[in-house]
Structure 1
């Protein structure tokens, strides 16, 4: 059994830097042997839930600019799994959730960067799923629920995003986390540990500094997707917490 997780993927630089988060990801990944990985990525936004469906090796997408050339030389040669993609579509359909299959798209950095740090060499097929950031948290959770039970099949479900992700608020000279970012994550952790879904779904009104932490929800909603896919009998557990540039959160949670 492999529990679903949410991971903060932060800057693309984590692909080549050594940080507390990258050390955590490598150690965590070394303990896992998934048969496949299903990853919701904040960097693929669609109105209709879209599932990568291929058996080929994915292209590596460099959906960023202004970074060192070294980043653009990295390839993450993971394969897809069209049979698993079809199975996921059937799961969503059973919940009344419309999907479409995509046979062309490669892995964006919301997928390949954290997976590279967890599994430097791909060890299993990967199926990438888009997010619709405009759906309310309760609906994101319901989408995740369609994937419950994959953990029993040793399929790792990953929500890849960030809890605090406000690029305009980055504190480039910071050596410690900003207080407001810590307060937001503390509120979130307390709600997760208490499994207080009504409050978590209403984070925009109840969480301190919610508008600062989540100016746009595309990086936040993978948390609900991963949470929904987990066994509700298991208490969520914080498995890593670190920060860069004052407020960029690398909080990781197991469900």
Structure 2
């Protein structure tokens, strides 16, 4: 849906946002802010080549791979993957393989892919030296390479470096909205989303004797990436995946 916002708002309603150097990115800022109910001041947009370069500049990332993850492949065209990431704990990935860990679609649904993307965000936070990573961003922007776009003013660079250090030392959690009786991506209840996000950012205090105050029934669980991204293999091997591809 964010892809559609980025593409369709400028195409269908050019100029609707007023002065903008990137209407698609500014439309996404408004979409995320409206959906989650939290302010979005700036964006950093990294294309696929930029993602690989930044991960490589960090020296790679480390993730747990619980099942074979496709490299390449096009489900709609019936083209199988060219290779797979093999399962294993503490896999050290370069930019190319980190990209496919994050976006491999063959044999996965969108929610499985989004879960891997949350694990990748956690791995980047864990692996990155925030100050060096920020400098790498700025170097790429200054070089004029069309792989990183941002509206963060240069004079705020040091402030964002300080913020990145705080994020690295913080405990990151995720709220995951999956299809349920309370949530549908096709017809989202935005009041429910706002309340859930606000509760995650400012959890209710625990009452004496157990329980919490103000918790809504059916709220999504807050997910700790350290648990969600732990090594918990399915038992499937690359050979199993290749055999399934051959049968396909």
When you count helix as a share of all residues, which structure comes out higher? 2
When you count strand as a share of all residues, which structure comes out higher? 1
What's the TM-score, normalizing by structure 1? 0.29
Structure number with the bigger relative contact order (C-alpha 8 A, sep ≥ 6) is 1
Q: Which has the larger radius of gyration?
A: 2
What's the TM-score, normalizing by structure 2? 0.30
